[in-house]
Amino acid sequence: MSVNRDHEWWRGAVIYQIYPRSFLDTNGDGIGDLIGIAEGLEYVADLGVDGIWISPFFKSPMDDFGYDVSDYLDVDPMFGHLSDFDQIVTTAHDLGLKVIIDQVYSHTSSQHAWFEESRQSGDNPKSDWYVWADAKLDGSPPNNWQSTFACPAWTWDARRQQYYMHNFLPSQPDLNLHNVEVQDALLDVARFWLERGVDGFRLDAINCGMHDPELRDNPPAPPGIRNETRPSFMQLPKYNMSHDAMPEVLERLREVADAYGPVFTVAEVGTPDPLATMKEYTVGTKRLNTAYGFEFLGTQELTPERVKEILGGWAGEPDEGWPSWAFSNHDAPRAVSRWGTDFELSHRARLISLLQLSLRGNIFVYQGEELGLPQAHIPFEKLQDPEAFTNWPHTLGRDGARTPMPWKHDQRYAGFSTKEPWLPVGRDHQQLAVDTQQGDPGSVLSFFRQIIQLRKSSPALKYGEIEFIDAPKGVLAFVRTTHEESAYCVFNLGNDPIEWSLPDNPEIRVCAEVGINSSGGEVPTSLGGYCGYVGFEK
């Protein structure tokens, strides 16, 4: 199998996700802002990452914390001004960082001017910009579609005397991307931000951008997939998302992006079985560069079988797209609290980072992962997330992963703000603050920087093919190869020690390890529980 040597800047890159509300507050209102991001970029650049992805900062009523956009072309006042965003771009580029921003093209806020016009009547210029449908004869919704937020995907609007569709909150009506005028308007949004110097887009929930025009009922989910924590998990989302015409829209977006140079485009795909959709959205050279789903984000137990299953879908076949991987983000409980919980926190954080940065594909790192931050416990009275309220106490919600970034261990609110933050600082986070780890060579932060540099200096880890190696139960082993080098990656993901070493006795120099006391870089013959190493053939 040949290796794609078209080394665009994004291929194999490590992107650091910044959640603006929780990164750094500079105006003392308890909410992070764009100036805070600009001030924190030197720290991010020192990690060695290639770029940043900034979650939404656009004007919004914040029903879903920015993913309900009321104006695509302006900054919400709580975050600052357009000039502050321009400063981020300038500072980031000066530091050698690329800037990726979220684009939410599947839906808007109900307060967006487009929707306010659309809902006025069935014959105005934007009447078909959203998904409208008549009620059934008995007044019930047009079909059985359910939204992610545990309610029907239809809300009655008295002005139009019709239902409108929403895959998310009722205040997040779905755009009708079957309408070419809507596509044109969104492409103009992309051009606006590309003109301001952004280097790429993360396309939020883009598989939700098109629905079945026939409005057919979704089938029930089979027993192996069915989850009764919410109605949307009890059906297969066959008709309310992932429509066959969506790739044509992505091709139009890619054409716009290519006019501005090597712009990075990544799809977020959230379905019970995302692989086929991710591959469809990234195949060839006319669609998106890459895609990621919730395979790792939704995995509760990390096993070699699960990792091989997920990675095995991206074998590097001709014309295949390029994968991306996130272990944590603003929508999922932090990986360090989900995996390897029998082991000490910093040990878990090191092993998880070493594994993630060994994978073939792009790597998305969520703010605080480099510090080993665990999921924070948020008492009910402090919850902010509408999903947390809806599903309490059956799910952890998203607030516990969105708490403020801890900068200083000896300051109130961990140096994030001078005022009580919008979410409390995690109980265990203050002692893991940036200032406590910065100068400590044994800290999780120092280890993270070390392995980032290892990945950047290694063509095999950044671009190489992946081949799995037969190993005992509980052990994940694979080799990443280019014509220049081979990197061997071995992880015991179980609790028990195992006597085992690589077959065929390759001469390996270990360059990064967790839980292994190897001397002089020698390959260990015994693997302790939840340990691993990366080594290069001599």
Q: What is the pLDDT of residues 161-195, one digit of tens each?
A: 999 999 999 999 999 999 999 999 999 999 999 99
529 vs 534: CA distance, rounded Å: 16
- Catalytically annotated residue among 268, 369, 370, 385: 268
By the 8 A CB rule, do 523 and 508 touch? yes
Residue 519 pLDDT: 61
Domains, the chain, ordered by start: 14-106+180-210+245-452 (3.20.20.80), 465-537 (2.60.40.1180)
Q: How many helices (H) and strands (E) does the chain have?
A: 13, 20
Residue 180 pLDDT: 98
Residue 504 pLDDT: 82
CB atoms within 10 A of CB 483: 11
367 Cβ partners below 8 Å, 6+ apart? 16, 17, 18, 19, 22, 23, 405
142 vs 461: CA distance, rounded Å: 50
Residue 364 pLDDT: 98
Locus of tokens 């993913």: 67
pLDDT of residue 292 exceeding 90: yes
pLDDT of residue 514 exceeding 60: yes
Phi, psi of 23 (to 5 degrees): -90, -60
Instruction: Please give the distance of CA 467 from its chain centroid, rounded to a whole number.
Output: 25
Reported as a pLDDT band with limits 50, 70 and 90, residue 518 is: low
> What's the average model confidence in pLDDT over 463-480?
96
335 vs 298: CA distance, rounded Å: 9
Residue 5 pLDDT: 42
Is 204 catalytic? The answer is: yes
Residue 396 pLDDT: 65
Residue 481 host element (H or E): strand 475-481
Residue 45 host element (H or E): helix 34-47
pLDDT of residue 299 exceeding 50: yes
The model's pLDDT over 118-166, given as tens digits with 9 standing for 90+, comes to 999 999 999 999 999 999 999 999 999 999 987 999 999 999 999 999 9
- Catalytically annotated residue among 204, 295, 331, 369: 204
Residue 161 pLDDT: 97
Cα of first residue to Cα of last residue in the chain, in angstroms, is 23
396 vs 125: CA distance, rounded Å: 43
pLDDT of residue 92 exceeding 60: yes
Reported as a pLDDT band with limits 50, 70 and 90, residue 108 is: very high
507 Cβ partners below 8 Å, 6+ apart? 537, 538
How are strands ordered across the β-sheet holding 531-537?
Answer: 465-468, 475-481, 486-492, 531-537, 508-514
* Short-list 514, 141, 174, CA closest to 353: 514
Please tell me whether residue 234 adopts helix, strand or coil conformation: helix
CA 475-476-479 angle, to 5 degrees, is: 135
214 vs 119: CA distance, rounded Å: 21
pLDDT of residue 3 exceeding 70: no
- Residues 115/116/118/124 CA torsion (nearest 10 deg): -150
Average pLDDT of the chain, as a whole number: 95
> What's the average model confidence in pLDDT over 227-254?
94
Whether the model pTM is above 0.85: yes
Residue 2 pLDDT: 36
Structure-token pair, residue 222: 């089979």
22 vs 31: CA distance, rounded Å: 7
Structure-token pair, residue 494: 């179980």
pLDDT of residue 343 exceeding 60: yes
pLDDT of residue 4 exceeding 80: no
> What's the average model confidence in pLDDT over 347-366?
98
Residue 7 pLDDT: 75
> What percent of the chain has pLDDT above 70?
98
Locus of tokens 């709580």: 78
> What's the average model confidence in pLDDT over 99-104?
98
Q: Which tops the pLDDT comparison, 214 or 380?
A: 214
Residue 6 pLDDT: 56
pLDDT of residue 214 exceeding 70: yes
| 236, β-bridge pairs | none
Residue 517 pLDDT: 75
